Structures are given as structure tokens and as C-alpha cells.
Amino acid sequence: MAFKPRAPVLARDLHDVSPSYRSALHVTPKSVAPTAATGGAVLVLAQDGRIQLASAAACSIWQAKAAELNGDFFPNLFSFEVVSQESGWVQSQWDVLLAAGLERAIRLKLQPKEAAEFEVLVRF
């Protein structure tokens, strides 16, 4: 039996988010405090790994306004040991993260704007 999380932590498309979670998403700059309604940080991602929507809890964790997160690539929110300035690197990181995280939760080092990185569990 495959593990199915009770609540989506990340969704690949806005349509994958249930209406109750969609209504819990806050995308205004003033909404940066975590909310119990989200059950955790929720990011709605496009197929290419770009952030479409960020919940208030996600904004709080990354110490950013939704407008700052929206449009950024998901891998840019984390710290990795191997980095490159090469063209297409972020897309390659996204492809690896997606392949690794589709079947199970993965551990990543979240990098807030003004705080030390810390380990988190990510589910797609």
C-alpha cells in the first residue's frame, strides 16, 4: 500500500489542490503568518517547477511575500551541496526533485531569506 499524505504539502497544479485548501491559500503581501487551515506550507507548482501560488504558511517559512515566491523556481527555495550557474541547471534540479519525490516524501534543506537553512520533509 502506497503512503498517501492526509493533506497535500505541494501540488503540481492548482487543480490538484482541494477547494478547502485552495480557499486557505493566501496570496496577499500582508498574509505572511502561518495558518492552521493549511496544515503546513502549501506551494502550487507549474509543471516546470515554477511557483504559481504560495500559502501564508509558506510565505512565513521563507520570510517572503507571495509576490516574491510566485514565479520563482521551486529548487531556488532550497540549499543544495552541488550548485552551478550553467544554463538549464535549475530545470535539471527540478527534474531530479520531481522524480525522487513523486513516490515518497524527500528531505531537503529549506533556505529562508534571513535565517539559517533547516531540514524539511517535502511531498509532491
What's the confidence (pLDDT) of residue 84? 75
Cα 105 to Cα 30: distance, rounded to the nearest angstrom: 30
Contacts for 89 with CB less than 8 Å, ≥ 6 apart: 83
* pLDDT tens track for 46-63: 999 999 999 999 999 999
What amino acid is encoded at 94 in this protein?
W
Contacts for 60 with CB less than 8 Å, ≥ 6 apart: 32, 33, 34, 41
pTM: 0.65
- Which mean pLDDT values do the consecutive 10-residue runs of the chain (124 residues) have? 41 48 40 43 92 94 94 93 81 92 92 91 88
